[in-house]
Amino acid sequence: MATLQADSGKKDVRQRGHSAIDFKSATTGVAAKTMRNELNRMVSGETDAQKRKIFEAEMQSFFLLFNRFLTERAKGEKLDWEKINPPQPEQVRPYAVLDNVDPSILNKLAVLKLNGGLGTTMGCVGPKSIIEVREGMTFLDLSVRQIEHLNEKYNVNVPFILMNSFNTDEDTARIIQKYQNHNINILTFNQSRYPRVDKESLLPCPKETSSDKANWYPPGHGDIFDALTNSGLLDKLIAAGKEYIFISNVDNLGAVVDLNIMQTMIDAQAEYVMEVTDKTKADVKGGTIIDYEGKARLLEVAQVPKDHLDEFCSTRKFKIFNTNNIWCNLKAIKRVMDEDALNLEIIVNNKVTDGGQAVIQLETAIGAAIKHFDSAIGINVPRSRFLPVKSCSDLLLIKSKLYNLEHGVLTMDKSREFGGTPVVKLGDQFKKVANFEKRFKSIPNITELDHLTVAGDVSFGKGVRLAGTCIIVANEGNKIMIPDGTNLENKLITGNLSIIDH
């Protein structure tokens, strides 16, 4: 088997059909022509030949997306709600533990983490993947440990790939140097960099390729297919004998390699597998697999007409949601890209810049690609495979003794008597990781917790136990300190106090 080498920084931009389209052939009105001229001007202004080649491919892909946005907006086409049905039994299969799976199939696998996000929502600078989540280890450390253990245990060579954005690329390149002596082959590539569009003029915000970062954006994880192809990595993986790729968000700590899912994919000859799991009240807005004219598709909340929102959010008709753990056949990706068949639903993300400018970002989601692959299926996986850390409320769960950690994999402790995780809602004072850490001398014992709400200036001592439903609210200007060793079960605490009697 050929050995995969990390890129030297240069990209072999392949001129596929859609990326080789001449901008001048577009004739979709004034906005499209004006955008085309602005993009052409920026491309011609790039003097470095290699950079210009990469930038031109990105701008051609962006222009096609922008052109389609204009066309769809003019037509006003939407999904026909009457044709939307829950998935058929053959479209979403139950998770199955299979007998005698041959682990050598792992030699055909590559694992990819979506690593384009920053840790700003949790008050951190740099890639989100470098936030410490457990025992001094970051998201990235845990992922690397998982793959390294997999390679050692089964004597296989599963490469670990990071899709960075222009926001995370430089920091990640520095950080991964520490894994040089590990039993793991780490590869990185960048997703595309698209120009933000002024909402009023429909013109690109950047004037030059070197314009400030704030004028650009990474266009969602649906861009993975373009970026894998343009970087040349798709061809490299196939040439090295890889047939499957497992893709997940870097902050989903439940997304570990599962031989049962991989074997199910192979047995079903499915080119695409989306892991779904049962909805809870916390997941009502998550995208879901639907049956649309006999084909599996992804339905996102943004596509739902307002008068059908309640129906979408209920668990009666739509019982599952997309975890964004995706398995794909690499040769099938190549076929879809070579045929220019990819046509992902556009997500229009409205933003306001720090300077008050209203802009739009045209994005796509990887889940929407399900309709383009043969025999695509969903697998209804256990909830344990969906363990995202989007906030410090999630971080409290991960840091607690609710989970055991082994070889980078988190598993729920057996002492937890009932299924599911507690509902934890921490207030604004806990929003940033640094503040969160200051407010806990040690992470409380929450093995028997059902629900925790904390608001206001609250802090916790060492060895605190929380059980049942606990609500702790310090009113404005007040402060609550939970002392060391406190035992709270089904308690409501408000006002301004330090508990002494416990």
- Specify binding-site residues for substrate: 221
User: Is 390 designated active site?
Assistant: yes
Q: Please check whether residue 296 is in contact with residue 378, taking contact to mean a CB–CB distance below 8 angstroms.
A: yes
| Per-residue exposure over 414-437, b if at least 16 CB sit within 10 Å of its own CB, e if not | eebeeeebbbbebbebbebbeebe
Amino acid at 438: K
Q: What is the dihedral of CA 188, 189, 191, 193, to 10 degrees?
A: 120
Q: CA angle, corner 302, sides to 301 and 306, nearest 5?
A: 80
Give the C-alpha distances (Å, rounded to integers) separating 286 from 99, 304, 321, 426.
Answer: 32, 12, 5, 22
Candidates 24, 51, 213, 390; catalytic one: 390
Counting runs of H as helices and runs of E as strands, what totals does the chain give? Answer: 11, 28
Helices 49-75 and 29-44 sit at what angle, rounded to 10 degrees?
170
Element housing 62 (H / E): helix 49-75
What is d(CA 405, CA 142) in angstroms, rounded to the nearest whole number? 9
Give the C-alpha distances (Å, rounded to integers) separating 356 from 38, 211, 333, 352, 353.
Answer: 23, 18, 40, 6, 5
Q: Name beta bridge partners: 495.
A: 474
> Residue 331 class from Cβ within 10 Å (0-12 exposed, 13-18 middle, 19+ buried)?
middle
What is d(CA 385, CA 377) in angstroms, rounded to the nearest whole number? 17
What is d(CA 500, CA 492) in angstroms, rounded to the nearest whole number? 16
Q: Distance between terminal CA atoms of the chain?
A: 64
Which residue numbers belong to the known binding site?
128, 191, 220-221, 251, 390
Looking only at the bridges linking them, the beta strands covering 288-292 and 84-85 are antiparallel
Q: CA angle, corner 482, sides to 479 and 484, nearest 5?
A: 145
Which residue numbers belong to the known binding site for UTP?
128, 191, 220, 251, 390
Catalytic machinery residues:
390
